Structure formats: structure tokens, C-alpha cells
Amino acid sequence: MIDYLIVGGGMAGCNMAYNLMKNGKTVHMIDEDSDHAASSIAAGIFNPLLPRHRKVAYNANLIYPMITPYYKEFETYLGQQILFEQPIQYFIETNSDLNDWSAMAYSTHLSHWIEVHNTRVPYEFKAPNGFLKIKHSGWVDAKLMGSLMKKKLQVANCFTNARFDYEMLNISDTEINYQHLKAKSVIFCEGKEVKENSWNKNISLKPAKGEILIIKTNLEINYIAQQGVFMAPLGNNLFKVGSTFSWDELDEIPTEAGRKEIIYKFEKFFRGEYEVVDHYAGVRPSSGDRRPILGPLQPYSNAFVLNGLGSKGVALAPYYSELLTQFLLKGDTIEKEVNTSRYKFEVQH
């Protein structure tokens, strides 16, 4: 019997599998590999700063300083680079914003997170007011991470590339049965597709569609430029530029409106020559309160969830997959803001 059956192999499932295995547990992952999954589309950027709100993200002190060491260790395990230590340079819009940021960078808690620079940037950027260099920011190749992790699991016979059939699952107090597999517990990590999970009677998401362009331009930078949209270097003169947010049509089809919105925001700070060479769309598994969702799936004692990673899977997956692992192994507390217990379970009659 294996310890954990994991359903879903995106950021949530792969980080869960990695942390459980690091702690000596056995896992089997079932994932229908999809080029449309959020983890395959994501730009993979981690950024603790919320510039419009002039504050850092929820739990930033716990979550962000661990990201670089965590992914460095993970890439050693995977045997290939997945982490790119290219910080975000956030272009400051106005001179008055520059004054405000300068004051905040010296006299508030933001001094741990930002440096204000008023130095020259390449001609292609319209950035006369300097930029913030955001500490603990960078990007991870989430798609590569997922495919390397699943290959590792496959080689060890711990991976099935298939659609999980909820009808074939049996959860009893003592064990989980699925086809030929027997496990002590199951962890659901299906992202936005959790709505298809017939064992889930309470958790619902508020997914957000997002679009990204791949552009080609003759510019060499080793940072992520940002102002309204980001421009992240991929190498070979290619850059990811995005992204959009919409809550109406939750499909993976790129739209003309999405393309126009990205280009409009991009050209506000970029005046170089470029061409669009690709365009993707995906759906983020966001929760209604924008917090991750982890913990037991009520009313079962051996079914669990890691979901709701929203637009920050790369940043949130390390900390919260570790926390869920410590909850499972040692009973560590999961704070109420992110706990599945905030979704009321109603007994079905």
C-alpha cells in the first residue's frame, strides 16, 4: 500500500509529491498531462510586492525568503535548471511616485523588499523615473519543473498519465482504493478542475482566465521589466509578456481583446521593435478570497486538498505544500485563513 495518492500534477501536485517523498513517504500521481493546465501556461514569476497597494503579499515574510533556496534544492533533485534569478525591475510611473517610493524604501517595512534606483535603463524602455528592484523576485520554469518531476515519478513507476475517474474511487475509513492502487490517503490537486470532483461537496473556486504573448525583440536584459504588464526574458531574444485577468469566459482560447490589452500596456513602457510570435491562454485556480486552500476534505479523515494557488502558484506552492506535509506527518496547524475548514461542509440529505 502506498502512503499518498495524488490527483493532479501541476504546481500543487508536483510540490506535494516532492515534499512527501523528501519526508520518506511513498506517492503515486495520476495526472492527465495538459498543455492547457495553468502550470504549463504560467509565466512562473514570483513577486512579493503589490505595487498598486504599496504593500507586500499575504504572509510574504514566511513565503518569499524560502523560494530561492527551495527551488535550488528542487532543481538539484531534478537535475536541471528551473529557477532563474532575474529580479523584477518595476518602472516607476511618475516623479511623485518616485518620491513616495524613495521615502517608503527607507522608512517602512518595505525597505526589506525594494531598492529604488534612478539609473539609466536601455533606450527601448520609457522609464524616466527610475525603477524599483524587487528583492526575493524572479521566475521558475513551471512547465519544465512539472515535466521533469513527472518523468522522475514515471521512472519509479509512481505516475499514471490518465484522466482520474472519480466513479472508480473508493474512500473508506482505513484505505483508499482506485483501480489496482491502494493508498492510505488521497490528496486532490486538480486546480480549476476540482469542480469535476464528485467527492468534493464544499470547495469552490473563482477561476480567472489569463493570456500571455511571446514576443521577439533584439534586447538583452537579465531582469524582468514590469509596469502594468511584465516582460520576462526567455533567452534567444524571446520574452513572455502579460498577463490579463478575466472571469467571464473560462476557456483556454487566446482572444484578440487579450492580445490588444497586453500590447496596449506593453507599449506604454516599451518603444523597441518587436514581433509577436505566440499567444497562449490558461485559467488560474483562484479562490474567492484569493487565499490558497489546504487541509482535510470534509467529511473524510484521509482525503486532503491543495488548491487555490491562483495567480501565485510558484510562490505559494513551496510554503503551503511543506505546511500541508507537516500537517499530515506531525499535525502542524494550518492557519484558518487558508484552511479548507473555512468552506462550510453541508451534509447532503
Ligand X SMILES: Cc1cc2nc3c(=O)[nH]c(=O)nc-3n(C[C@H](O)[C@H](O)[C@H](O)COP(=O)(O)OP(=O)(O)OC[C@H]3O[C@@H](n4cnc5c(N)ncnc54)[C@H](O)[C@@H]3O)c2cc1C
- DSSP codes of every residue in 272-284: S--EEEEEEEEEE
The secondary structure element, H or E, covering residue 105 is helix 95-107
3-state secondary structure of 181: strand
Torsions phi, psi for 114 (to 5 deg): -135, 150
Among 191, 207, 233, 295, binds ligand X (CB under 6 A): 191
- In the complex with ligand X, which residue's Cβ is closer, 45 or 132? 45
Contact 203, 307 (CB under 8 A): yes
Site for ligand X (CB under 6 A): which residue of 226, 298, 307, 325?
A: 307
Of these, 17, 29, 30, 323, which contacts ligand X (CB under 6 A)? 30
How far is it, in rounded angstroms, from Cα 105 to Cα 298?
44
Among residue numbers 61 through 90, which ones bind ligand X (CB under 6 A)?
Answer: none
Q: Which residues have CB under 8 Å from 106's CB, separation 6+? A: none
Tell me: does residue 44 bind ligand X (CB under 6 A): yes
Report the alpha-carbon distance of residue 231 to residue 228 in Å, rounded.
10
CA atoms within 13 A on the CB side of 64: 21
Angle at 254 between CA 192 and CA 250, to 5 degrees: 30
- Of 136-155, binders to ligand X (CB under 6 A) are 142
- Of 311, 321, 325, 340, the one binding ligand X (CB under 6 A) is 311
Give the residue, chosen from 314, 324, 328, 338, that forms a contact with ligand X under the rule CB under 6 A.
314
Complex with ligand X: residue 124 or 211, whichever CB lies closer: 211
Range in contact with ligand X (rule: CB under 6 A) among 123-131, 176-184, 302-310, 319-327:
302-310
Q: Which of 39, 147, 185, 200 binds ligand X (CB under 6 A)?
A: 39
| Site membership for ligand X, residue 17 (CB under 6 A) | no
Helices (H) and strands (E) counted in the chain, each on its own, are 8, 21
Considering only 42, 67, 262, 305, the residue that binds ligand X (CB under 6 A) is: 42
Of the pair 129, 246, the CB lying nearest ligand X is at 246
| Options 60-68, 95-103, 308-316, 321-329: segment touching ligand X (CB under 6 A) | 308-316
SS3 269: helix
Q: Does 296 bind ligand X (CB under 6 A)?
A: no
Cβ burial of 55 (10 Å; 0-12, 13-18, 19+) is: middle
Q: Which amino acid is residue 8, in one-letter code?
A: G
Q: Specify the DSSP element, H or E, that contains 233.
A: strand 229-235
Considering the complex, what minimum distance in angstroms separates the CB of residue 245 from ligand X? 9
Site for ligand X in 199-228 (CB under 6 A): 210-212
**Residue from 2, 26, 32, 112 binding ligand X (CB under 6 A):** 32
Residues near ligand X (CB under 6 A): 8-13, 30-32, 34, 37-39, 41-46, 142, 163-164, 189-193, 196, 210-212, 242-243, 282-285, 307, 309-315
